[in-house]
A and B are shown apart, each in its own frame.
Chain A
Amino acid sequence: MKTDDRQVIERVLKGETDAFNILIREWEKPIFNFILRMIGDRDEAMDLCQDCFMKAYRELRTLKDRDRFSSWLYRIAHNTCLSKIRRDHGKTWVELDPDRGSRPSAPENRIAVEKALQHLPEDQREVVVLKVFHALKFEEIAAIQNAPVSTVKSRLYMGFEKLRSILG
């Protein structure tokens, strides 16, 4: 059964701190997966996921539209990832296979797609991840990225095109 985020938020704001665990239980996995696909490192992603929920708890009072908790949470996760990416600017997390010309066979396909995804620029990767894995609307992604909807769509097209060119 899906939790009514609004009711839970109201309980937390009334001082029932433990109720925040309900929100964590519901959103921990999607947020972790989003961060993991943005960052590419499990332990790092887990730490950032924890930071993200800490920040969400501290700033819960600032959430105006309580029906849009998930978008707001993704926005926090977006900012958390962006800070991390900026801090680590210049580091390369994932290298593509040197043999990029050959088409990957079936068992290798999943790894190849994961790697190809990591090779996209952050803004394109984020749109692809939020759209494909988290089924967010273009408008929601635009709010998270603070960009026009048309830009978000362009990023999706470019991201998909680049993935196709990498995967062959």
Chain B
Amino acid sequence: MEHLNDKLADFFYEELPASEMVDARRHVAECGECRAQVQLLEKTHLALKRLPEAEPPRRVVFATPERRVRWAVLDWRFLAPMAAAVAALIIAIMPASAPAPTPAAVAVTAPVPAPVATEPQTQAIDYDRIVDQVRQSDRAWFADQLAKRDREIRQLEGQLAYYESYQRTVMKETWENASSIQLLAQRTASRD
């Protein structure tokens, strides 16, 4: 067999047809030149392969808005205006070919800004200025805390949307499995 040349990568990644793989293996075992080439490929491949996979910093979630209908509202007095509103809505969204759900991405926690430092007083005490500074500092601190909580809430909302969608999927799959099991049991019983 000739040297592997352009089939080297196919051999290394085992993409040669089975029969050619056998011949190539035999050839590499005998040919030092090809073996050295394969080892070079392997060395580079392994150096790269050792790099760890990164975890996405947040989750991509397709969360369709919940549709909560109050059945009490479906009184005949409301049906006509509701039908008109629905018709208007359908006309408004007609050009869109497929409804695209909004993905609710989990917010990434941003670094919190450093707290505001107050300058030391060396001259006559100006209480108004101190009070003003303290108030400003407090305001900054509260704004910062508020922003931090907002970020946490957004993050939790994103996670909640993710888990809710996951739960819905699992419940649906469980329901389908249960139905299949029931159907199977019925068939078995009727056979018996």
Contacts and interface: CB of A to CB of B under 8 A. Distances in A.
Interface stretch (B53-61, B80-88, B137-145, B148-156): B53-61
Given A54-B100, A57-B62, A132-B49, A18 B165 contact: yes
B10 interface: yes
B142 to A, nearest CB: 28
Given A17-B99, A43-B57, A153-B6, 13 more contacts: A17-B62, A42-B54, A42-B57, A46-B57, A46-B108, A49-B60, A132-B45, A133-B53, A137-B15, A156-B9, A160-B44, A160-B45, A164-B40
A59 to B, nearest CB: 10
A61 B173 CA distance: 23
Contacts of B52: 110
A110 B46 CA distance: 12
A22 B57 contact: no
A163 interface: yes
A160 B57 contact: no
B39 interface: no
B29 interface: no
Contacts of B9: 138, 153, 156-157
Contact of B13 (A53, A61, A131, A160): A131
10 contacts: A18-B168, A28-B56, A29-B53, A29-B55, A29-B56, A46-B57, A46-B105, A117-B48, A160-B41, A160-B45
The 9 closest A-B pairs by CB, nearest first: A32-B56, A160-B44, A132-B48, A21-B165, A50-B60, A20-B62, A17-B101, A17-B64, A18-B165
B72 interface: no
Contacts of A131: 13
Contacts of A113: 47-48, 50-51
Interface string B10-47: 10010100000000000000000000000011001101
B57 A19 contact: no
A167 interface: yes
Contacts of B56: 28-29, 32, 46, 49
Contacts of A20: 62, 101
Given A21-B166, A61-B98, A43 B60 contact: no
A24 interface: yes
